[in-house]
C-alpha cells in the first residue's frame, strides 16, 4: 500500500501545514536556546559568587536557578504559537496565560532572592522569627502587585480596587498602630543592631542582660533576678547604653585629704599616686592632679582607664587601687579628710 502524500500547502484552521512545522521548529529551538542560556548564566554567577563576598550576586544566582524548565518550555510554545494566525479571542487567552506564567516565575524568583538576603547571618531564634515575618509580608506584597498587574493587562480597571485596598489599609493601620509600631521597631532593632541577645544594656531606669528580642517586646534579665519586658518602640525612641560593646572603662576618682597636710607632701602625692597606678595590671593612667580646695578637704582628682569591659575586673582593679591609696597614705603620713566643722567662740 503506497503512503499517503503529505500536502504541506493544505490549510488547517487558517494556517498551512508547513506553518505548523515552522512553529514547532521555532518552539524546539527556543527551548534549547533558553536552556543553554540558563546554564551559562548559572555557571557564570557561580564563578562570581566564589570570588565575591556580597549578597547581590548570590541573590541573582538564586533568581536564575529558581527558573525551572517548564517556564521556558511554555515560553518556547508561546513563541511557536505567535507564528500562527489565530482568532483574536485565542490570542487574548494565550497572552493572558503567558503573562500569568511569567509573573508567577518572576514572583517566585524574587521571593527566593528576598529569603536569601533576609536569612543570611541570622544568629538566634528571635531574629529568625522576625526575618520570617518580614519575608511573609514581602511575599504578600509581591503577589498582590503581580495580581493587580495581571488584572490591568487583561483589561480590568483596578483603580477602584486600589482605592479600596488603600482605605482598608489605613483603617487597619489605625486600629493596629501600637502593634505595628512595635513590629516595625523590632525590624529596626534587627537591621540596625544597637544590641543583641547577651548584651548588658541600660534603658532609662531599667538595666539587664538581653535575653530575647521579640516581635512586640524585648526581654531583659535584671541583676536582681526578675525578667523585664520593654516595648520595642520604647527602645527605639530611648537612649540605650550597651556595656557589652565597651572596649575599656574610663574612671574618674575624687578624694580629699586634710588641710593640715604640708605643702611638700601635697606636691609629692600626684607622682606617687601615678607610680602606684602604673604598677597595677590592666590600668592605663591618664592624669592625677591636686584639683582644688573643698569645704573641709584638699581635693585630688585622678582619671584612669580599665582596659577590660568586664565589670568584675573593673571592681577588682578599683579595690586594688583603694588598698594602694590606703597603704601609700599610711607611708606618707597623710590622712583622708571627712566632713568637719570648726566652731570658734569668743569671750563676752
pLDDT, one tens digit per residue, over 202-220 is 888 888 888 888 777 888 9
Positive or negative, the CA dihedral 52, 56, 59, 65 is negative
**Beta bridge partners of residue 257, listed in sequence order:** 298, 336
Q: How confident is the model at residue 316 (pLDDT cuts 50, 70, 90)?
A: very high
Residue 224, pLDDT score: 85
Helices 69-82 and 17-51: angle between axes, nearest 10 degrees = 150
Residue 301, pLDDT score: 94
- Contact between 197 and 126 under an 8 Å Cβ cutoff? The reply is yes
- Contact between 220 and 209 under an 8 Å Cβ cutoff? The reply is yes
Question: What is the pTM for the complete model shown?
Answer: 0.50
Read off φ and ψ for residue 149, nearest 5 degrees.
-65, -40
Residue 2, pLDDT score: 45
- Cβ atoms < 10 Å from Cβ of 52: 12
Residue 16 burial class via C-beta count within 10 angstroms: exposed 0-12, middle 13-18, buried 19 and up: middle
Over residues 78-92, mean pLDDT: 74
- What is the per-residue pLDDT across 58-76, written as a single tens digit (0 to 9) for each? 666 777 777 777 777 777 8
Total residue length of the chain: 348
Q: How confident is the model at residue 56 (pLDDT cuts 50, 70, 90)?
A: low
Task: State CA 248 to chain mean position distance.
Answer: 26
Residue 238, pLDDT score: 84
Read off φ and ψ for residue 330, nearest 5 degrees.
-65, -40
What's the whole-number average pLDDT of the chain? 79
- What is the per-residue pLDDT across 162-194, written as a single tens digit (0 to 9) for each? 666 666 666 665 655 666 677 777 777 777 788
Q: How confident is the model at residue 161 (pLDDT cuts 50, 70, 90)?
A: low
Q: How confident is the model at residue 5 (pLDDT cuts 50, 70, 90)?
A: low
Query: Is the predicted pLDDT of residue 278 greater than 70, yes or no?
Result: yes
- Contact between 84 and 109 under an 8 Å Cβ cutoff? The reply is no
Helices 177-192 and 159-175: angle between axes, nearest 10 degrees = 90
- Contact between 196 and 211 under an 8 Å Cβ cutoff? The reply is no
Say if strands 15-16 and 217-221 run parallel, antiparallel, or are unpaired. Answer: unpaired
Q: How many helices (H) and strands (E) does the chain have?
A: 10, 10
Say how far apart CA 9 and CA 127 lie, in whole Å: 67
Say how far apart CA 49 and CA 65 lie, in whole Å: 14
- Contact between 195 and 244 under an 8 Å Cβ cutoff? The reply is yes
Q: Smallest Cα–Cα separation from 112: which of 167, 60, 43?
A: 60
Amino acid at each position: 500500500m503506497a503512503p499517503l502524500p503529505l500536502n504541506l500547502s493544505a490549510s488547517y484552521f487558517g494556517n498551512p501545514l508547513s506553518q505548523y512545522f515552522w512553529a514547532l521548529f521555532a518552539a524546539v529551538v527556543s527551548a534549547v536556546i533558553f536552556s543553554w542560556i540558563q546554564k551559562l548564566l548559572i555557571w557564570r554567577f557561580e564563578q562570581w559568587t566564589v570570588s565575591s563576598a556580597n549578597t547581590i550576586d548570590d541573590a541573582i544566582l538564586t533568581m536564575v536557578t529558581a527558573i525551572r524548565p517548564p517556564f521556558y518550555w511554555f515560553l518556547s510554545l508561546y513563541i511557536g504559537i505567535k507564528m500562527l494566525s489565530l482568532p483574536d479571542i485565542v490570542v487574548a487567552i494565550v497572552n493572558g496565560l503567558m503573562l500569568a506564567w511569567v509573573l508567577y516565575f518572576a514572583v517566585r524568583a524574587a521571593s527566593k532572592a528576598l529569603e536569601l538576603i533576609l536569612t543570611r547571618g541570622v544568629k538566634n531564634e528571635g531574629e529568625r522569627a522576625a526575618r520570617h515575618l518580614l519575608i511573609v509580608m514581602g511575599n504578600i506584597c509581591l503577589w498582590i502587585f503581580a495580581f493587580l498587574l495581571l488584572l490591568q493587562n487583561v483589561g480590568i480597571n483596578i483603580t477602584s480596587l486600589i482605592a479600596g485596598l488603600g482605605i482598608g489599609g489605613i483603617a487597619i493601620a489605625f486600629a493596629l498602630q501600637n502593634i505595628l509600631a512595635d513590629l516595625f521597631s523590632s525590624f529596626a532593632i534587627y537591621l540596625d543592631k544597637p544590641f543583641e541577645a547577651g548584651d548588658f544594656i541600660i534603658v532609662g531606669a531599667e538595666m539587664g542582660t538581653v535575653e530575647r528580642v521579640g516581635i512586640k517586646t524585648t526581654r531583659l534579665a535584671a541583676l536582681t533576678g526578675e525578667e523585664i519586658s520593654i516595648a520595642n518602640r520604647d527602645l527605639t525612641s530611648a537612649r540605650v547604653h550597651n556595656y557589652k560593646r565597651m572596649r575599656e572603662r574610663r574612671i574618674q576618682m575624687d578624694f580629699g585629704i586634710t588641710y593640715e597636710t604640708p605643702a611638700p607632701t601635697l606636691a609629692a602625692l600626684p607622682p606617687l599616686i601615678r607610680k602606684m597606678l602604673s604598677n597595677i595590671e590592666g590600668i592605663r593612667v591618664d592624669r592625677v592632679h591636686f584639683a582644688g580646695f573643698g569645704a573641709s578637704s584638699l581635693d585630688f582628682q585622678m582619671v584612669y582607664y580599665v582596659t577590660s569591659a568586664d565589670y568584675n575586673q573593673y571592681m577588682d582593679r578599683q579595690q586594688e587601687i583603694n588598698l594602694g591609696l590606703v597603704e601609700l597614705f599610711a607611708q606618707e603620713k597623710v590622712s583622708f579628710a571627712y566632713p568637719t566643722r570648726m566652731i570658734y567662740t569668743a569671750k563676752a
